[in-house]
Amino acid sequence: MKQLLTIFTLLLTTSILAQKTADTKTREQVQRIFDKQIAAWNAGNLNHFMNGYWEDERLVFVGSRGPTYGYENTLKGYQKGYPTKEAMGTLKFDIIEMRQWDRKTLQVIGKFTLIRESDTPTGHFTLLLRKIKGKWVIVSDHSS
C-alpha cells in the first residue's frame, strides 16, 4: 500500500509540475482563434464564432444551466441565449492564464465582458483546448 501511495504521489506531482506557460507559437495560434471568435461575435455571426469549437458530439459547454453536450447543442444554446446582435453586444476577452499540459492539451483561464446598451455582463471562463488534426480547438468550455 505504501508503495502504491508513493507511486501515485510521484505521478501526481510529475503531472502538476509538467504544466507550463504555453510557448509563444502556441499562444499566438490560440490568440488568433480568440480574435476570430471575437470578430464573429461582434459581427453577430454565431456560426463563425463556433469555428473555435470542436465540431463533435463530445464537445462540452458548462454554463449557468449546467452542461451541454455536442457542437450543435452548444450552437443552439448560444442562439437561444443571444437571439439578436443587440443581445450579443460587443464581446471582449481578457486572457488571464494559458497553461500547456502537454503538446496537445492547453488550459486557458480568462474573463469575458459583453458591452450592451442596457448592461455590461461579465464573467470568467476556463477552456480546455486540444490539438486535433493539427488544429487547436476548444473541447470544453466552462463559462460563468
Domain of residue 39, CATH code: 3.10.450.50
Query: Around 41, how many Cα atoms within 13 Å sit in the side-chain half-sphere?
Result: 23
DSSP string of 16-81, one letter each residue: HHH-EEPPHHHHHHHHHHHHHHHHHHHTT-HHHHGGGB--STT-EEEETTEEEESHHHHHHHHHHH
For residue 138, tell me if it sits in a domain. yes
Residue at 1 is within a domain: no
Show Cβ contacts of residue 45 under 8 Å, excluding neighbours closer than 6 positions. none
At 3 the pLDDT is 54
3-class secondary-structure state, position 120:
coil
In a domain, 48, yes or no: yes
- 12 vs 138, higher pLDDT: 138
Tell me the pTM: 0.84
Rounded Cα–Cα distance for residues 69 and 62 (Å): 9
Q: For residue 91, is it within any domain?
A: yes
For the stretch 51-110, pLDDT in tens is 999 999 999 999 999 999 999 999 999 999 999 999 999 999 999 999 999 999 999 999
Which domain does 51 fall in, by range? 23-143
Tell me, yes or no, whether 13 lies in a domain. Answer: no
User: Parallel, antiparallel, or unpaired: how do β-strands 90-102 and 66-69 relate?
Assistant: unpaired
Quick check: is 11 in a domain?
no
15 domain-assigned: no
* Residue 80 within any structural domain of the chain: yes
Domain count for the chain:
1
- Confidence label for 20 from pLDDT (cuts 50, 70 and 90): confident
